[in-house]
Amino acid sequence: MRFSSVLLTVFALVASGLADKSCTPSFDYCSDILIKSKGFTEADLKDVLKGTDLENEDVKNVLFHCTNPGIVGHPKLCSSGCKDSATEGSHQCDG
């Protein structure tokens, strides 16, 4: 394989990893949806919680609000867990 081909392949893999995060602004998401289908990692979500009163909470118990495509914030604790729904972005806390 030529060096330019290898370089191009590596660049494509890196770029695709950076661009994979996506969410619809003003929609709420449970962590499992963000991780499974929106390109976020658990580490990304834990970073969102740093410096908040939810910093030590399990991300599975947090509802995240999409503020911009690929950016989540405004975490809300779901003491009974986060509930997924069939409608995109309509997630809520159980109970």
Write out the two tokens for 13: 């893999």
The pLDDT of residue 13: 38
Which CA distances in Å does 18 have to 6, 40, 58, 62?
19, 10, 24, 23
Sketch the domain layout of the chain as residue ranges: 21-93
Write out the two tokens for 35: 């991780």
Q: What is the pTM of this model?
A: 0.75
Place of tokens 């809520």: 92
Q: How far apart are CA 73 and CA 9, in angstroms?
A: 33
For residues 77 and 92, the answer to whether their CB atoms sit within 8 Å is: no
The tens digit of pLDDT for each residue in 15-69 reads: 444 458 999 999 999 999 999 999 999 999 999 999 999 999 999 999 999 999 9
